[in-house]
């Protein structure tokens, strides 16, 4: 009898999803919205009753999440990630970071707990790839220049989704506080990712290619799904979310020559279980509960639309070098809540980390964003004209000069000498920032473990944190000074390349000075945020912190030359170590 009831429930869900797939594309509405509405209509909160075992549907729906992350990993292969470019990744990081902070602040102002605020930030910080790409197709923008950068931002978002879901899973389980997340979960996750990728890339693509040569699709599909679920099991054993394991499995499978064939085989299975997942979201919704959360959801949708439009536009303009028109179009296209927002909401609710209010709040806000997004894109010319009239003339001139500067640097890819100089500066900046992260990571680890190693050490907690933070900052000073100097050289080089005298005339020198200082100033602000974030678990009290910062600033001013020489010696030693050739045998 149970088997018949299960088949009946599955038939109801699949028939409802099938009706949605046929009707909603014809009325120009997102299929995702139709799945949720179908789940509400056949759910247990209606006067009629179609389903008998809702828990079984939820268990099957979790397979949709796994397969979504698996195909996401295949789409986000290593070659595609390398081809995105630093600017696009930075633009996505700016957008996700800003929206995560905005969601946390909205939750805090609404009286939520810190954990609930963090999950709310996770819900609002990702856009919908499905809706954005469908919008581009409906508007006939496939060949527009901004589309490649927007797709790159969406891919970068999806990679960040995996990281955030892994961290939120640890929080939802109640097994990690702030220190554990920063210095245990993340470090263990990085180690797990490195080991899984190295071992997986050495063995599994060859196995899949060998099976593909035999010509049959069945062994290839079964093996690919076995790799996916096996990686999920390994991730769960290590204390991570199954989403991380599925994503890594997809990244490994993508390196096989037959990856396109695997995607073609897995996609129907993924679409079926993904449909069940989104219908299952509707099953959990009680229409009567949507009414009390209508106004908060409208406010959240407004914050998402305004915040994402602003963050994506600024990121695309500043980091990716898009024109103001293309940057605004990117922001309006990505101004909605994504598919994985429902995954994050269901993760928090299932683990008891957040209240059930997050479901109606998320779904209602997502529906509002889906409905408003096409209207915003139709009003794009009017919005752009309004922004141009409201922007002062000096700010418009500075924006145009900045865009010309960034655009003028693109031919450097064809110049081998100039491209080598730019790569060297960026490489030095990246290496020094990694060293700074390592120093503060070691400091935080020592601060957390010191009471366990020497429990009777006569050192108060405030003094211990202040001492360790001061040591970490002092050790990092040569690297921080080097980052500023390299950023200053990078800014002058880019300003000299991008601002031509033929185009700007008498304003050339002024624009070069202003734009040449934007890079080091941005680097200075970024270093301040990085140091604050890295040292968040060992920060001393505010008064002590200000005193240490003042001492650090005076030390940099007084010992600038010495710090430069120390870093030069460190750089020479590191270069000698890397370039050292093995001695021939006697």
Give the tens place of pLDDT for each residue, 112-148. Answer: 888 888 888 888 888 887 778 777 777 777 777 777 7
Q: Looking at the structure, tell me whether residues 178 and 307 fall in a common domain.
A: yes
Q: Per-residue pLDDT for 412 more than 60?
A: no
Q: What is the mean pLDDT of the chain?
A: 75
Q: Per-residue pLDDT for 150 more than 60?
A: yes
Q: Per-residue pLDDT for 583 more than 50?
A: no
Give the tens place of pLDDT for each residue, 548-567. Answer: 667 777 776 777 777 677 66
Domain membership of residue 399 (yes or no) is no
Residue owning tokens 């599955």: 10
Alpha helices in 255-357 (DSSP H): 259-283, 287-290, 294-318, 324-333, 339-350
| Spatial distance between the Cα atoms of 248 and 536, rounded to a whole number of angstroms | 29
Q: How many domains is the chain built from?
A: 2
Q: Looking at the structure, tell me whether residues 373 and 410 fall in a common domain.
A: no
User: What pLDDT does residue 290 have?
Assistant: 75
Q: Per-residue pLDDT for 269 more than 70?
A: yes
Which three-class secondary structure state does DSSP give residue 112?
coil
Q: Looking at the structure, tell me whether residues 298 and 345 fall in a common domain.
A: yes
Here the CATH number for the domain that contains residue 256 is 1.20.1530.20
Helix, strand, coil percent values for the chain (each to nearest 5): 80, 0, 20
| Residue predicted with more confidence, 42 or 424 | 42
Residue owning tokens 């100039």: 418
Highest mean pLDDT among 170-174, 372-376, 468-472: 372-376
Domain membership of residue 207 (yes or no) is yes
User: What pLDDT does residue 241 have?
Assistant: 74
Where does a domain end: 359, 390, 421? 390
| Spatial distance between the Cα atoms of 324 and 399, rounded to a whole number of angstroms | 8
Domain membership of residue 401 (yes or no) is no
User: What pLDDT does residue 496 have?
Assistant: 67
User: What pLDDT does residue 156 have?
Assistant: 81
Where does a domain end: 330, 360, 390? 390
Q: Looking at the structure, tell me whether residues 236 and 357 fall in a common domain.
A: yes
Q: Looking at the structure, tell me whether residues 314 and 346 fall in a common domain.
A: yes
Residues 6+ apart with CB under 8 A from 467: 459
Q: Per-residue pLDDT for 177 more than 80?
A: no
Where does a domain end: 390, 424, 455? 390
Alpha helices in 319-415 (DSSP H): 324-333, 339-350, 358-378, 380-390, 393-408
User: What pLDDT does residue 586 have?
Assistant: 35
Of the listed ranges 13-22, 243-252, 542-551, the one predicted with least confidence: 542-551
Q: Per-residue pLDDT for 372 more than 80?
A: yes
* pLDDT confidence tier of residue 211, bands split at 50, 70 and 90: confident
pTM for the model stands at 0.66
Give the tens place of pLDDT for each residue, 181-199. Answer: 545 566 667 667 766 777 7
Q: Which structure tokens are listed for 309?
A: 């439009």
Q: The domain containing residue 282 runs over which residues? A: 2-47+59-390
Domain membership of residue 250 (yes or no) is yes
| Residue predicted with more confidence, 99 or 158 | 99
Full 3-state SS string of 447-496: HHHHHHHCCCCCCCHHHHHHHHHHHHHHHHHHHHHHHHHHHHHHHHHHHH
């Amino acid at each position: 009898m149970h088997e018949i009831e299960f088949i009946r429930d599955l038939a109801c869900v699949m028939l409802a999803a099938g009706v949605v797939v046929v009707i909603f594309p014809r009325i120009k509405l997102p299929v995702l919205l139709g799945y949720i509405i179908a789940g509400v209509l056949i759910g247990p909160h209606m006067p009629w009753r179609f389903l008998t075992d809702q828990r079984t549907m939820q268990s099957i729906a979790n397979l949709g999440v796994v397969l979504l992350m698996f195909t996401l990993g295949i789409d986000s292969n290593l070659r595609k990630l390398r081809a995105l470019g630093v600017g696009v990744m930075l633009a996505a990081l700016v957008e996700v970071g800003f929206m995560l902070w905005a969601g946390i602040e909205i939750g805090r102002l609404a009286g939520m707990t810190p954990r609930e605020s963090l999950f709310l930030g996770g819900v609002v910080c990702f856009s919908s790839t499905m809706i954005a790409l469908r919008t581009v197709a409906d508007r006939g923008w496939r060949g527009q220049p901004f589309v490649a950068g927007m797709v790159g931002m969406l891919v970068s978002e999806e990679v960040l989704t995996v990281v955030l879901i892994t961290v939120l899973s640890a929080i939802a389980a109640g097994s990690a506080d702030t220190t554990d997340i920063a210095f245990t979960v993340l470090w263990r996750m990085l180690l797990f990712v490195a080991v899984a990728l190295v071992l997986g890339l050495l063995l599994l693509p060859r196995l899949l290619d060998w099976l593909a040569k035999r010509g049959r699709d069945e062994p290839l599909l079964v093996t690919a799904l076995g790799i996916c679920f096996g990686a999920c099991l390994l991730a769960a054993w290590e204390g991570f979310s199954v989403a991380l394991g599925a994503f890594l499995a997809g990244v490994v499978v993508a390196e096989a020559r037959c990856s396109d064939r695997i995607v073609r085989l897995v996609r129907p299975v993924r679409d079926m279980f993904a449909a069940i997942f989104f219908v299952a979201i509707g099953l959990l919704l009680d229409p009567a509960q949507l009414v009390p959360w209508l106004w908060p959801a409208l406010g959240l949708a407004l914050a998402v639309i305004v915040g994402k439009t602003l963050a994506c536009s600024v990121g695309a303009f500043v980091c990716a070098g898009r024109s103001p028109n293309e940057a605004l179009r990117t922001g309006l296209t990505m101004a909605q809540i994504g598919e994985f927002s429902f995954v994050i909401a269901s993760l928090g609710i299932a683990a008891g980390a957040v209240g059930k209010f997050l479901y109606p709040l998320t779904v209602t806000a997502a529906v509002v964003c889906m409905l408003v997004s096409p209207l915003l894109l139709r009003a794009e010319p009017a919005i752009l004209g309004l922004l141009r009239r409201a922007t002062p003339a000096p700010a418009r001139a500075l924006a145009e000069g900045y865009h010309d500067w960034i655009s003028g640097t693109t031919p450097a890819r064809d110049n081998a000498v100039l491209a080598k100089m730019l790569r060297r500066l960026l490489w030095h900046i990246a290496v020094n920032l990694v060293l700074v992260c390592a120093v503060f990571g070691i400091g935080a680890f020592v601060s957390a473990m010191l009471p366990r190693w020497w429990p009777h050490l006569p050192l108060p907690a405030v003094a211990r944190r202040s001492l360790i933070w001061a040591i970490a900052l002092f050790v990092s000073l040569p690297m921080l000074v080097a980052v500023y100097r390299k950023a200053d050289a990078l800014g002058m080089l880019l300003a000299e390349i991008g601002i031509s005298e033929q185009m700007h005339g008498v304003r050339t020198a002024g624009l070069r000075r202003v734009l040449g200082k934007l890079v080091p100033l941005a680097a200075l602000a970024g270093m301040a945020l990085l140091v604050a974030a890295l040292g968040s678990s060992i920060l001393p009290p505010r008064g002590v912190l200000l005193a240490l910062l003042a001492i650090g600033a005076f030390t940099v001013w007084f010992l600038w030359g010495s710090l430069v020489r120390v870093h030069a010696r460190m750089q020479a030693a590191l270069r000698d170590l890397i370039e050292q050739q093995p001695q021939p045998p006697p």
